[in-house]
Amino acid sequence: MDVCQQIRNVSNTINLVCSGFFSYLGTVNERDRIEGKPRCHCGIFGIFNHPEAAVMTYYGLHALQHRGQEATGIITSEYLEERKKWRFNSHKGVGLVADVFKDATILKQHLKGSSAIGHNRYSTTGSSDNLFNIQPFVVNYKGGNLALGHNGNLTNFQTLRVRLQSEGTIFQSTSDSEAILHLVARSKHAGQIHQIKEALDAVDGAYSLVILTDTSLIAARDPYGFRPLALGRVRQQNGQGDAFVVASETCAFDLIGAEYVGEVEPGEILVIDRDGIETGTLKSYHVSKRSPQPHHCIFEYIYFSRPDSKIFGENVDKVRRKLGKLLAEESPVHPDGEDDRVIVISVPDSSNTATLGFVTESNKLGDDVRLEIGLIRSHYVGRTFIQPDQNSREFKVKTKFNTVKGVIRGRTVVVVDDSIVRGTTSKQLVKLIREAEPKSIHFRVTSPPIRHPCYYGMDFPSREELVANRYEGDVQMIASELGVDSLAYLSMPKMLAAAPNGGANYCTACFSGEYPVPVDRPVTKDANDS
Ligand code: SF4
């Protein structure tokens, strides 16, 4: 089905274009929540000055697929020599990167141009089945073409939306990201960078952005640096100078052979243009709002980012191992007598690295424990997987995980997981492991109890649904709810000790309730849908 509509925003004289055709249409409310983890925000990617910008973006988005699986899109900027003007090409759709771009001619023939941005979506505001919410958003306004991809959540979106609507702005999507485009379009400043700066001065909360203009790629990050955003470079020998790339995580750089240059700093607006390529110096601006210190999302290290990525200037693998080591130090599991064999298994895949840290440290501390592969995860249970009538959580967990019974039977089993959210999945996992007849089960978690929602881009369930709240933080009661012989969470001081810089620059609000940026009106993600 072709969806190509141009919506005229009369008051602001901008054209909000939802362009491209959708290779797959359907509602995506039935998300794969089998793992019972919070869903995160989005993945963003941008590239400037590369002859195959769209293909590079495709690979970048593929590497960032774990950050959002609901929808994806790529916008390219193409200079039409014969018409002496710029054109933005767009292709967006619901589904995984490989599905939406399965026709190679889309990348090779439709998405022409040497600069591109891309976005993988998991919605945190804006309903997932509203097709207009698929990013990157594109506008054509008085300053030219502009496309935007956003990772994070704006905490003053409700106030902004009411204000902008009362002034005549027509919102096309229900996503908070659209407000940034309206603010840019309404700016009275001359020059896009000043218009963008004015828009970012008006928004609060979490944003890592890639913005494509006719002649530049702009990367920007909120003053707190909640979400990661890295800068890289692709060396080129084609006489055109190097290409620059920005991405949520550096795993996207590895796939396309880009080298890591550094972080886009909190509060920075970094401009990558022809001038920067030629001089080797990129122009850097800053939003006016300042934070005394960054507040990076510590949950990116615990669960969300890939272990082969470097975020916030540190390797995720290194931090995750340290989380496991400190957990073993704080809450060891000792063999129960001379004949007892303690095995440690991870809940794959996000807990694999921390489990290595747990085992190494346990052995160092004198406990003879052994790493085992006791849980096997199916990687092929996707959004389109047809559930039989027995559509219970127990069955869903079984479609995703199975036990290696010979490994578990008769053993003292330590299960290492990165977090417990509702507790329902953990409970089913424990049941599954219990069926394999272990001697005992000891659950170890590499983060403190989650007791508060996130307003900065991670989709947690309500407070009432969080198991740590249901039992008011009573670990014994949570242990009996899960059906384990013992349960231990990593303490807050140890979690912070595992992070770079002693954890001084991190947001811990979902554990502590201390929110670094106030939220004007907490809303559900589909609150603005009619
Ligand atoms: Fe990350 Fe939790 Fe802070 Fe959200 S509240 S940004 S998930 S640490």
3-state secondary structure 247-311: ECCCHHHHHHCCEEEEECCCCEEEEEEHHHHHHCCCEEEECCCCCCCCCEECHHHHHHCCCCCEE
- With the most atoms of ligand 1 within 8 angstroms of its CB, the residue from 207, 208, 456 to mutate is 456
Q: How far is the CA of 453 from the centre of ligand 1 (A)?
A: 8
Three-state DSSP state, 527? coil
The predicted-structure confidence for 291-341, as pLDDT tens digits, reads as follows 789 999 999 999 999 999 999 999 999 999 999 999 999 999 999 888 898
Per-residue pLDDT, averaged over 30-48, amounts to 69
Instruction: From 237, 234, 236, select the one nearest 247 (Cα to Cα).
Output: 234
Per-residue pLDDT, averaged over 435-446, amounts to 98
Q: How confident is the model at residue 382 (pLDDT cuts 50, 70, 90)?
A: low
Instruction: From 135, 145, 74, 133, select the one nearest 103 (Cα to Cα).
Output: 74
Q: How far is the CA of 240 from the centre of ligand 1 (A)?
A: 41
Per-residue pLDDT, averaged over 457-480, amounts to 93
For the chain, give the mean pLDDT. 89
Distances (CA, A) of 396 to 45, 314, 393, 402, 423: 32, 35, 5, 11, 14
Q: Is the predicted pLDDT of residue 21 greater than 90, yes or no?
A: no
The beta-strand segments (E) located in 81-198 are: 85-94, 115-121, 137-141, 144-151
The minimum-distance atom of ligand 1 relative to the CA of 508 is: 8
In degrees and rounded to multiples of 5, residue 163 shows phi and psi of -60, -50
The confidence score (pLDDT) of residue 426 equals: 95
Alpha-carbon gap, residue 445 to 324, rounded angstroms = 9
Q: How confident is the model at residue 396 (pLDDT cuts 50, 70, 90)?
A: confident
Q: Is the predicted pLDDT of residue 29 greater than 50, yes or no?
A: no
Token pair, residue 215, equals 């002649």
The residues lining ligand 1, judged by C-beta closer than 6 Å to any ligand atom, are 226, 297-299, 454, 456, 458, 507-510
Q: How confident is the model at residue 33 (pLDDT cuts 50, 70, 90)?
A: very low
User: For the chain, what percent of residues have pLDDT higher than 70?
Assistant: 87
Q: How far is the CA of 177 from the centre of ligand 1 (A)?
A: 19
Give nearest CA residue, ligand 1 atom 2: 510
- With the most atoms of ligand 1 within 8 angstroms of its CB, the residue from 297, 303, 312, 506 to mutate is 297
The minimum-distance atom of ligand 1 relative to the CA of 40 is: 7
Alpha-carbon gap, residue 276 to 282, rounded angstroms = 5
Give nearest CA residue, ligand 1 atom 4: 454
Q: How far is the CA of 513 from the centre of ligand 1 (A)?
A: 10
Per-residue pLDDT, averaged over 520-524, amounts to 61
For residue 222, say if its preceding peptide bond is cis, omega within 30 degrees of 0. no
Q: How far is the CA of 444 from the centre of ligand 1 (A)?
A: 21
Which residues carry out catalysis?
Answer: 42
Helix (H) or strand (E) holding 299: helix 299-299
Q: How confident is the model at residue 37 (pLDDT cuts 50, 70, 90)?
A: low
Greater confidence (140 vs 290) lies with: 140
Instruction: From 469, 475, 515, select the one nearest 491 (Cα to Cα).
Output: 475
Q: Is the predicted pLDDT of residue 96 greater than 80, yes or no?
A: yes
Give nearest CA residue, ligand 1 atom 6: 297
Q: How far is the CA of 179 from the centre of ligand 1 (A)?
A: 22
- 268-273 and 243-247 strand pairing: unpaired
Instruction: From 275, 212, 218, 214, select the one nearest 85 (Cα to Cα).
Output: 214
Q: How confident is the model at residue 461 (pLDDT cuts 50, 70, 90)?
A: confident
Q: How far is the CA of 456 from the centre of ligand 1 (A)?
A: 6
The minimum-distance atom of ligand 1 relative to the CA of 298 is: 8
Give nearest CA residue, ligand 1 atom 1: 297
The confidence score (pLDDT) of residue 397 equals: 85
- With the most atoms of ligand 1 within 8 angstroms of its CB, the residue from 226, 507, 514, 517 to mutate is 507
CA 268 to chain centre: 20
Greater confidence (218 vs 463) lies with: 218
DSSP one-letter string for 30-47: S---TT-PPEE-EEEEEE
The confidence score (pLDDT) of residue 3 equals: 33
Work out the widest C-alpha separation in the chain, in whole angstroms: 82
CA 133 to chain centre: 16
- For the chain, the residue count is 530
Residue with tokens 């890592």: 208
Q: Is the predicted pLDDT of residue 162 greater than 80, yes or no?
A: yes
Helix axes 475-482, 424-435, angle to 10 degrees: 50
- 342-346 and 310-311 strand pairing: unpaired
Q: In this predicted structure, which of 28-32, 147-151, 278-282 has the lowest mean pLDDT?
A: 28-32
Helix (H) or strand (E) holding 501: none
The minimum-distance atom of ligand 1 relative to the CA of 516 is: 3
Distances (CA, A) of 144 to 32, 185, 209, 270: 39, 10, 18, 19
Q: Is the predicted pLDDT of residue 383 greater than 70, yes or no?
A: no
The predicted-structure confidence for 213-240, as pLDDT tens digits, reads as follows 999 999 999 999 999 999 999 999 999 9
Helix (H) or strand (E) holding 473: none
The confidence score (pLDDT) of residue 2 equals: 36
Residue with tokens 């494509």: 212
- With the most atoms of ligand 1 within 8 angstroms of its CB, the residue from 299, 466, 490 to mutate is 299
Token pair, residue 280, equals 């080797």
Alpha-carbon gap, residue 510 to 86, rounded angstroms = 44
Q: How far is the CA of 378 from the centre of ligand 1 (A)?
A: 28
The confidence score (pLDDT) of residue 143 equals: 94
The minimum-distance atom of ligand 1 relative to the CA of 450 is: 2
Per-residue pLDDT, averaged over 441-465, amounts to 93
Q: How confident is the model at residue 20 (pLDDT cuts 50, 70, 90)?
A: very low
Q: How confident is the model at residue 17 (pLDDT cuts 50, 70, 90)?
A: very low
The confidence score (pLDDT) of residue 5 equals: 37
Alpha-carbon gap, residue 216 to 285, rounded angstroms = 14
Report the chain's terminal Cα–Cα distance, integer Å: 23
CA 14 to chain centre: 29
Q: How far is the CA of 312 from the centre of ligand 1 (A)?
A: 14
The minimum-distance atom of ligand 1 relative to the CA of 460 is: 7
Per-residue pLDDT, averaged over 238-261, amounts to 97
The confidence score (pLDDT) of residue 391 equals: 56
Alpha-carbon gap, residue 368 to 228, rounded angstroms = 38
The predicted-structure confidence for 356-368, as pLDDT tens digits, reads as follows 999 999 999 999 9
Query: What is the model's pTM?
Result: 0.90
Torsion of CA 362, 363, 367, 368, to 10 degrees: 130
The minimum-distance atom of ligand 1 relative to the CA of 457 is: 4
Bridge partner list, 371? 344
